[in-house]
Amino acid sequence: MAAGSAAMLLVASPAAAVPWTDAAPVTGGTLTARTIPAPVASCGLLSVGSVQISWTAVPGATGYVLHHGNAGATVETVGAGVTSKHFTGLITGGTFWVEAQTNYGSVTWKSAASNSLGYSVLLVLVGLCG
């Protein structure tokens, strides 16, 4: 007696293969692509025991995301009116960059990262940035 085997082949129907069809017409309005420009970071005031880093304001930004410290590991968000960060401490330093963000209702978009700057602060010496 010979043993037989049966296999079932499932094939998606054409309707399941194209789930994003809609016969409703599109009218009015204009679609526009938008890119949020990246801020440009620069060294600001350097003084004994401190460094200030500034960045350009981005039109329409609702805030900025700052990355600083060792390899930019510290992340903080600041408001749209803030365009500088002051670093002080006994010994501190790292890499700094910033991203602009814009809120569109429930969605937040971020720009590309600004240029990176290295900085260091020693309490008794003038801070360094570059």
pLDDT tens digit string along 45-98? Answer: 888 888 999 999 999 999 999 999 999 999 999 999 999 999 988 888 999 999
CB 121 within 8 A of CB 89: yes
Looking at the domain assignment, is residue 7 inside a domain? no
CB 42 within 8 A of CB 53: yes
3-state DSSP assignment of residue 129: strand
Segment among 15-19, 28-32, 116-120 with least mean pLDDT:
15-19
Looking at the domain assignment, is residue 31 inside a domain? no
Looking at the domain assignment, is residue 109 inside a domain? yes
- The confidence score (pLDDT) of residue 1 equals 47
Looking at the domain assignment, is residue 21 inside a domain? no
Average pLDDT, the chain: 84
CATH number at residue 116: 2.60.40.10
Q: Is the pLDDT of residue 19 over 70?
A: no
Looking at the domain assignment, is residue 91 inside a domain? yes
Looking at the domain assignment, is residue 11 inside a domain? no
Looking at the domain assignment, is residue 25 inside a domain? no
The 3-class secondary structure across 55-114, one letter per residue, is ECCCCCCCEEEEEECHHHCEEEEEECCCCEEEEECCEEEEEEEEEEEEEECCEEEECCCC
- The confidence score (pLDDT) of residue 30 equals 76
Domain that holds residue 118: 38-129
Total tally of structural domains belonging to the chain: 1
